[in-house]
Structure 1
Amino acid sequence: MPTLPGVLEIILGILVLFGGGELFVAGSVALSLLLGIPQLVIGLTVVSLGTSAPELFVSVLSTLQGDADLAVSNVVGSNIFNILVVLGASAAVMPLRVKSRLVRRDVPLLLAVSMAVWGMASAGRLTWQAGLALLFAMVANVVWEMRTASEEPPEADGDDPEERATPLVAALKLAGGLGLLVLGSQLLVRGATSAAVALGVSQTVIGLTIVAAGTSMPELVTSLVAAYRGQADLAIGNVVGSNLLNQVVILGLCGVLSGGRGLAVDPVMVSRDLPIMVATTLACLPIFWTNGVITRLEGWILIGLYGLYLLEQVLVATSGGAVVDTFRFVVLVALLPLLLVFLVWQALRWRKLRRVMAMPAGD
């Protein structure tokens, strides 16, 4: 049974995360207003860098301690969690309107990076050269985001006056929120890990699920708070930006720190979890095309898909191969094709409706 201190750490970690998420979102919105930078760009850069700090801390420390499996599984599991749970839960709270630049540039970029990481790791090792290439991609992306910030219109002047702040107050909110997010993540991961060990769950499952979900709590809380406050750009940009930075910054840095030996990647990760990470990113495109809105239904679908992913992890850890094979067959042959048909149909339906609405009345 989980120990009482572990349970208390989980509860306290969640409470600290919620406070930190509110403070961090307030600071990021104030910063965007002060600098005249669109919230989408803030979400893709500043907020994403901040909320990825727990993943960075856990993966770098694991790499230095020689635990490459945890370093990689934390990033891969966090990316899957971010899209399926963070984005899904945010849409379930409030339907999220998608800006065209996400479909046109940012999600395809994330998909390309995810596929590149999968390819780099396909040999079972992420070399230091691959890590260096990922870090270079990070620098290029940040420069690109800053240069293209002027293409996005500044936020309207009708914002809540309480969201405006002096530069010092905005910086203090960002720093204080980030500190609480990191502290809350550490408490949650430590408590959840001790509880998982007490329940006899393997380290691999812990890395892909509990540790990954724990280090993704800042993204979850920040995006939920942003969605509740009506800051859809921040909620979506945080997810896309965090997933991008998790790969180019964290995996890149871990690859470089691994030195000549490279960062070992579990073959199961290459054949199962990395493809799932790519597939969840690919699934964003038809969802984002549906009238430019991620609906509550689509949000719940994403959460349901993560439930299937968790169930597969549990079956692998506790059941025989026949049960796992049957489950995978049902999901791959029956559920996922039906879901894909539904999403494509809905996207085409909304596009046709928009064309009809855009036609002149006399046609």
Structure 2
Amino acid sequence: MSALTVLALAVGFVLLIGGGEVLVRGAGGLAATLGISPLVVGLTVVAFATSAPEFAVSVDAALSGYPGLAVGNVVGSNIANILLILGLTAIVAPLVATSRIVRVDIPIMVLFSVVALLVALDGTISFLDGLLLFAGLVAYVVATIVISRKQDGGRAAAASEDPVGDGAGGGAARDAAAGDDAARDAAAGDDPAGGASAGETRSSGVASSHPVLVSSVFVVVGVALLVVGARLLVAAASDLASAWGMSDLVIGLTVVAVGTSLPEFATSVVAAIRGERDLAIGNIVGSNMFNIGAVLGMTSLITPIDVAPGAVRFDLPIMLAVSLALLPIAFTGMAIKRWEGLLFTGFYAAYVVYVVLQAADHDALDPFSAAMLWFVIPITALWLIGLATYELGLLRGRRQARARPVPAHDGATDTGTGGPG
């Protein structure tokens, strides 16, 4: 491994991070002009922008004859996004999971992971497979934006009916919304007073207003930086693979995957610190769907992608399992707490250790695999099932409490004049 390879790797990472940051700013400015909510911005525009490094790397790798790097980059990035990026972000600031994320977006992300595994079973992601993945993504984005615009329009109409806020409907709605926000903040373990930082984010963060021309220039410059950085990263990664005797799949699953996930990490941490904690989760969930639908889908539209048997047997199922694990984690307390972030980060470290031991055919691989397969994973699965069951019980109890009729009050008893005078 030469010094030139190390330099190309470092410069490629820097260009990817810088390009992703510039692209996020430009895309966020354009999205703000459409009046889209921060959560939808995270699920669509920001997710696409932060997935641009994966797209650039995968397309370049597939065209350069490194299909394992193209697949490993997407699969490794999706695993890193949930276990490492969401884990570290939750450690920095506990994350709020809205009901929409839990009921709609995470299950759709799981569905994308299932489809990706199914189309890869024959060892190739073909043109038709890519068309299916990309069409599913387009349908999701269109439905998300249309539904969001309708909901925002409905809320605006309701607000216009009670502009002063003194009416029963408007005041009650605002009180309920404030109560929900406070409850979510309490569940996440943070001070509800953090709303001030959230307000600052809306005025100066991802969803801030930018002139359309300036935002468009940001998008173009960001894409250019990503393309150049991707070419350098692919060249350096292929040199590393040959120098270390490792396959391009392993390099894609580890080094390149973490590198291309850095824009997601920067975006999610900044969003969490500034109070836009639903955007932080939306960015990761949306990015994973874009990685499968746009990166794998559009790359296979350009050229068919050969999938290594090891990826079909292990890495793609792990990606699906990680996506499934996010559902109960986000469902319990409608938040991702710090201890859950630590759990995710620990599992990512274990995953990387396994990938490296497998690539090196190390003697410690068998005992490590046995410990994970028979002890750590089953215990964690049972724990998550127990937490989800407990949360379902709490929700059922709240519904039953709300459904109970309120007993009628006796005026005579209240005034203490029940008997004749």
Q: TM-score range by the shorter chain?
A: 0.7 to 0.9
Could you say which residue in structure 2 is the equivalent of 1:227? 272
The one of 277, 283, 305 equivalent to 2:319 is: 277
Normalising to structure 1: TM-score of the pair? 0.85
Equivalent pair of 2:20/2:50 in contact (CA under 8 Å)? no
The one of 346, 349, 355 equivalent to 1:304 is: 346
CA distance in 2, matches of 1:183, 1:218: 16
Residue by residue over 1:138-171, the C-alpha shift from the partner in whole angstroms, topping out at 9 and shown as x without a partner, is: 2222221221122554899954544433333444
Residue by residue over 1:333-356, the C-alpha shift from the partner in whole angstroms, topping out at 9 and shown as x without a partner, is: 100111122223333444555666
CA distance in 1, matches of 2:249, 2:323: 22
Equivalent pair of 1:185/1:217 in contact (CA under 8 Å)? no
Name whichever of 184-193 and 111-120 sits farther off.
184-193
1:328-347 mapped onto 2 (5 Å cutoff): 328-347=369-388
Could you say which residue in structure 2 is the equivalent of 1:164? 209
1:51-130 mapped onto 2 (5 Å cutoff): 51-130=50-129
Structure 2 residue runs of 5 or longer lacking an equivalent are 157-194, 408-421
SS in structure 2 at match of 1:290: helix
The verdict on how the C-alpha distance between 1:109 and 1:325 changes in structure 2, with shifts beyond 3 A counting, is same
Equivalent pair of 1:32/1:38 in contact (CA under 8 Å)? no
Equivalent pair of 2:60/2:230 in contact (CA under 8 Å)? no
- Give the paired residue count: 358
1:312, CA displacement in angstroms?
A: 0.6
1:237, CA displacement in angstroms?
A: 1.5
Name whichever of 96-105 and 10-19 sits farther off.
10-19
Matched, 1:266 2:308: yes
The one of 288, 292, 304 equivalent to 2:334 is: 292
What is the RMSD of the two structures over their aligned residues, measured on CA atoms? Answer: 3.2
CA distance in 1, matches of 2:301, 2:221: 30
SS in structure 2 at match of 1:123: coil
CA distance in 2, matches of 1:181, 1:240: 21
1:186-205 mapped onto 2 (5 Å cutoff): 194=239, 197-205=242-250
1:221, CA displacement in angstroms?
A: 2.1
CA distance in 2, matches of 1:196, 1:95: 37
Equivalent pair of 1:51/1:178 in contact (CA under 8 Å)? no
SS in structure 1 at match of 2:33: helix
The one of 193, 216, 231 equivalent to 2:261 is: 216
SS in structure 2 at match of 1:168: helix
Q: Percent identity?
A: 41
Normalising to structure 2: TM-score of the pair? 0.74
CA distance in 2, matches of 1:64, 1:17: 19
The verdict on how the C-alpha distance between 1:151 and 1:311 changes in structure 2, with shifts beyond 3 A counting, is farther
1:76, CA displacement in angstroms?
A: 1.3
1:127, CA displacement in angstroms?
A: 2.5
1:17, CA displacement in angstroms?
A: 5.5
CA distance in 1, matches of 2:302, 2:222: 28
1:33, CA displacement in angstroms?
A: 3.8
Could you say which residue in structure 2 is the equivalent of 1:327? 368
Could you say which residue in structure 2 is the equivalent of 1:138? 137
CA distance in 2, matches of 1:99, 1:181: 31
Name whichever of 204-213 and 24-33 sits farther off.
24-33
Equivalent pair of 1:124/1:265 in contact (CA under 8 Å)? yes
1:43, CA displacement in angstroms?
A: 1.5
1:37, CA displacement in angstroms?
A: 0.5
Could you say which residue in structure 1 is the equivalent of 2:170? none
CA distance in 2, matches of 1:32, 1:139: 17
CA distance in 2, matches of 1:183, 1:97: 36
CA distance in 1, matches of 2:100, 2:360: 43
1:191, CA displacement in angstroms?
A: 5.4
Could you say which residue in structure 2 is the equivalent of 1:239? 284
The verdict on how the C-alpha distance between 1:130 and 1:293 changes in structure 2, with shifts beyond 3 A counting, is same
Equivalent pair of 2:75/2:315 in contact (CA under 8 Å)? yes
Name whichever of 278-287 and 336-345 sits farther off.
336-345
1:78, CA displacement in angstroms?
A: 1.5
CA distance in 2, matches of 1:21, 1:59: 16
The verdict on how the C-alpha distance between 1:183 and 1:351 changes in structure 2, with shifts beyond 3 A counting, is farther
